Amino acid sequence: MRVVHDPQELRSFPGGAFVPTMGALHEGHASLIRRAKASGLPVCLSIFVNPTQFGPKEDLSRYPRTLDADLAIAERDGADVAFVPSVDVMYPEGIEEANRVASTLPLPDVATKPGLEDRCRPGHFAGVQLVVARLFDMARPAVAVFGEKDWQQLKLIEAMVARAKVAEPARWPELRILPHATVRERDGLAMSSRNRYLTPELREQSLGIARALQVAHSAQRPATAEKLMRETLELHGFSLDYAVVRDADTLLPVGDFARPTRALIAARIGPADAPVRLIDNAAMTVWS
Ligand code: PAF
């Protein structure tokens, strides 16, 4: 596996399978790499903790950085190239200006649906959109693999690529987004780089998320599913950002389960001054 820091070195790599990450790799990332490998294309993994997607009060400075271990996992699971750019490479204009640029780029509708990530993390998706677009410009992949755990992010990236195909057809002409199922611990906790912040006690409490998604399945109506999720999360000591059922594609609120819907949760546990924010989601059964 080649480790490259300069985007010029990616020139010999167009048309590959791309896995963007912020490092702190775990089994979930490993399965994204294996999915990319299964495409038969050369695999490029990027590792970049993206400052523009963190709010001023978020965990950018304490976000886990484990480069040596990350490179070992990437190599083990078949990545051909690890792209590890610096902040200056990604944002030559400086972070402040990059944040300004990010905020001027129109976000696809799905990123701004009321009551979801945009309300809780203003500016987050603007930063994700900017960095992923720049990474795509540098890597020029044929496919890019994104985990379903960040469901709204996945929908944003799909919409961004679909929009580019119409508005800028020469930009990423062959790019396809491959969604990949969430990888879970044996007890149901979705794998996340932030799980390493959990003390044994918080780890126990964190099971509330998988349990909330499970109880949601017993409900006949979305409103009941939302109530059951809220109750389960509160019982496990979570403060809720949201626990909702939405249309799986538009992320609009729904009144029944007649179309594919998704239960989406974001909730915090732990000390008020440094809570751990966990997100997860699950497909609900379609009842026609
Ligand atoms: O999902 C992530 O790890 C990040 O949001 C991404 C897509 C790598 C952009 O920084």
Cα distance between residue 108 and residue 138, in whole Å:
22
Å from CA of 228 to ligand 1 middle: 30
Task: Please write the tens of the pLDDT for every residue from 57-91.
Answer: 888 999 999 999 999 999 999 999 999 999 999 99
How many angstroms separate the CA atoms of 272 and 261, rounded? 32
Exactly one of 29, 124, 217, 236 is catalytic; which is it? 29
Tell me the average pLDDT of the chain: 96
pLDDT higher than threshold 80 for residue 191? yes
Q: What is the pLDDT of residues 126-154, one digit of tens each?
A: 999 999 999 999 999 999 999 999 999 99
pLDDT of residue 184 exceeding 80, the answer is: yes
pLDDT score recorded for residue 130: 98
What is the DSSP-derived secondary structure letter of residue 285? Answer: P
| Cα 152 to Cα 159: distance, rounded to the nearest angstrom | 10
Confidence bin at 287 (pLDDT 50/70/90): confident
Question: Token match 């304490």: residue?
Answer: 62
Tokens of 164: 């580019």
Tell the residue nearest (CA) to atom 9 of ligand 1: 128
Q: Whose CA is nearest to atom 8 of ligand 1?
A: 21
CATH architecture assigned to 193-282: 2-Layer Sandwich (3.30)
Predicted local confidence at residue 150, as pLDDT: 98
CA distance 155 to 219: 25
Q: Which ligand 1 atom sits nearest the alpha carbon of residue 128? A: 9
Which residues lie below 8 Å from residue 282, measured CB to CB, with a gap of 6+? 213, 216, 217, 262, 263
Q: Which atom of ligand 1 is nearest to the CA of 20?
A: 8
Amino acid 196: pLDDT: 93
User: pLDDT at residue 214 above 90?
Assistant: yes
pLDDT at 126: 98
Pocket around ligand 1: residues whose beta carbon is below 6 Å from it? 20-22, 50, 53, 128, 131-132, 150, 153
Structure confidence at residue 58 (pLDDT) = 87
Per residue, the 3-state secondary structure of the chain, as one string, reads: CEEECCHHHHHHCCCCEEEEECCCCCHHHHHHHHHHHHCCCCEEEEECCCHHHCCCCCCCCCCCCCHHHHHHHHHHCCCCEEECCCHHHHCCCCHHHHHHHHHHCCCCHHHHCCCCHHHHCCCHHHHHHHHHHHHHHHHCCCEEEEECCCHHHHHHHHHHHHHHHHHCCCCCCCCEEEEECCCECCCCCECCHHHHHCCHHHHHHCHHHHHHHHHHCCCCCHHHHHHHHHHHHHHCCCEEEEEEEEECCCCCECCCCCCCEEEEEEEEECCCCCCEEEEEEEECCCCC
Q: Which protein residue has the closest C-alpha to ligand 1 atom 1?
A: 21
pLDDT of 10 higher than 80? yes
Instruction: Provide the residue type at 87 as one letter.
Output: V
Residue 229: pLDDT over 80:
yes
Is residue 288 over pLDDT 80? no
Nearest-CA residue for ligand 1 atom 6 is: 21
Range scoring the smallest mean pLDDT among 12-21, 176-185, 218-227, 236-245: 12-21
> What pLDDT, on a 0 to 100 scale, did the predictor assign at position 264?
98
Give the number of the atom of ligand 1 that is nearest the alpha carbon of residue 157.
7
Confidence (pLDDT) at 14: 82
Q: Does 285 have pLDDT greater than 80?
A: yes
Q: Active-site residue 5, yes or no?
A: no
Ordered DSSP codes for 198-226: --HHHHHHTHHHHHHHHHHTT-SSHHHHH
Distance 2 CA to ligand 1 centre (A): 21
**CATH node for 2-180:** 3.40.50.620
* Domain residue ranges of the chain, discontinuous segments joined by +: 2-180, 193-282
